[in-house]
Every structure is written in C-alpha cells, then in structure tokens.
Amino acid sequence: MLEVSGLNSYYGESHILHGIDLTVPAGGRVALIGRNGAGKSTFLKSLMGAGPTARGEIRWDGRNLKAMAPYARARLGMAFVPEDRRILGNLTVFENLKIVRGHTSSGRMATPEEILDQFPLLKPLKERLGGVLSGGQQQLLALARAEISNPRLLLLDEPTEGLAPVIVENMVADVQRICRNGCSLLLCEQSLWFSRRCTDYVHVIDSGRLVFSGLWQELDAAEDVMKRYIGI
C-alpha cells in the first residue's frame, strides 16, 4: 500500500505540489488526471525521489521512502514508466528487456521472449535498436520493461500520449494484465477513456492541488469539476 500525506514538492524556489494526500491500496488501481502543467509528473517523480524536492510523508508498505534513493525504491518493486520512457537507444529491444533487474520479492521473472509474446507489435522488432523505434513503439517497450520486473506498484506517466487509438485500446489489456497479479497501479493521464478502463478510483489535480477524489461515477456526476478542471 502506498500512502502519501501532506506532500509538498518544489523545483528550487517554485512550489509545485501543495499538500497532496493520496493512497493506493494493495492491489488498487488509481488514476491521477489533470491538464498540462497540473503537477502529475512532479507527483510521480516525487514518489520515486527523482527530481523535485519533496516534503511530507511517502510510505510504501509502512516504510518511509523519503531517505531512499530512486534505485532503492525500484528495488522495493516500484516500476516507474516516465514521460520520456528512457529507452536505451544503443541496445536492442531484446537487450532493453534482458538487462532489467528484478526487485527483492519479484520471484521468477519472465524471460524477454515470454514478455515479447504479450506484445505482438514489439515482437517482430526484437533485434531493432531502441533509438530507432517510433514514439509509440518506445512506449510499448517501456511498458514491457515494467512488466518484466514483475512490479508491485506500477507508476505510469501518460502512457497513451501520442499513440494511435488502436494501440491505446490494446494497452488497456496490457495494463490490466500487469495488474492482475496483485500489482497496484497509479496512472497519470489526460485520457479519460483510457483511465476509466484501467482504474477504479480517480483524483483530479489542478495547479498542484487535488480538486476531486472519488469513484468514476462520482466524477461523472460532478459536473462542475468536469467543466472547470477537465474541460468537458
């Protein structure tokens, strides 16, 4: 279980996140939606200890993460797929998967071949260098790389950005499959369509503050929130 309370995050003097309280229960699937610049990526980076200065409580299974380096957080089973994907351009698709290390309780990890069987669009590109993949192909590889680590918490930063609609549809199944083994999900997105298919609970962020937290049906009923913060 991930428990964030009273999180304030800063880039230098800029105060970006203001008192965020957010929980992802064990096996739970939660979305954080908001417009450009709302603070979604800053929130995920704060969870990983990768960039912004964070004040407040971040706990994973009761452990305080604040003093832990990003790699140590990853070793606890937190798999972060950042906005820029961080695919290694001079390694092949296969090698990008081969080098993933498991976390302390990952058990037997799937082989790259087994993971590629789950990503039919990637499979034929096994020997292609990461650096020449299209944006969408890199996004699939980033998701495959998260899946192979057998994560306990999947942190996705706008995985559907720039993807063709048919690939977005397929990606719903990928995310659901990864979450099936009890992995929790925190999904940052702008696509409501994708988010509601992947999660049960939703937070809306605006200017670094949560302005709504509830079930999707509750968000549908909150017309003022939809209009004001999401533009629907």
Question: Which residues of the chain form beta strands (DSSP E)?
Answer: 2-11, 14-24, 29-33, 53-60, 63-64, 78-81, 153-157, 184-189, 201-206, 209-215
Contact region for ligand ATP (CB under 6 A) — 37-45, 100-108, 123-131, 135-143? 37-45
Contacts (CB under 6 A) with ligand ATP, residues 67-86: 83
Label residue 79 exposed, middle or buried (CB < 10 Å: 0-12, 13-18, 19+): buried
Residue closer to ligand ATP, measured from CB, 27 or 51: 51
Contacts (CB under 6 A) with ligand ATP, residues 17-36: 34, 36
Residue closer to ligand ATP, measured from CB, 190 or 213: 190
CB of 55 to ligand ATP, least distance (A): 16
Q: Which candidate, 152, 142, 232, places its Cα nearest to that of 192?
A: 232
- Answer yes or no whether residue 160 interacts with Mg ion by CB under 5 A: no
* CA trace torsion 4, 187, 146, 132 (10° rounding): -130
- Answer yes or no whether residue 41 interacts with Mg ion by CB under 5 A: yes
Say which entry of ligand ATP, Mg ion, none residue 16 contacts (CB below 5 to 8 A, set by partner kind). ligand ATP
Q: Which candidate, 75, 23, 88, places its Cα nearest to that of 49?
A: 75
| Contact pick of 2, 41, 142, 147 for ligand ATP (by CB under 6 A) | 41
Count Cβ neighbours within 10 Å for each residue of 118-138 and write b for 16 or more, e otherwise. bbeebeebeeebbeebeebbb
CB of 44 to ligand ATP, least distance (A): 8
Say which entry of Mg ion, ligand ATP, none residue 199 contacts (CB below 5 to 8 A, set by partner kind). none
Say which entry of ligand ATP, Mg ion, none residue 11 contacts (CB below 5 to 8 A, set by partner kind). ligand ATP
Question: Is residue 120 helix, strand or coil?
Answer: coil
**Interface with Mg ion (CB under 5 A):** 40-41
Contact residues for ligand ATP (CB under 6 A)? 11, 14, 16, 34, 36-42, 83, 190
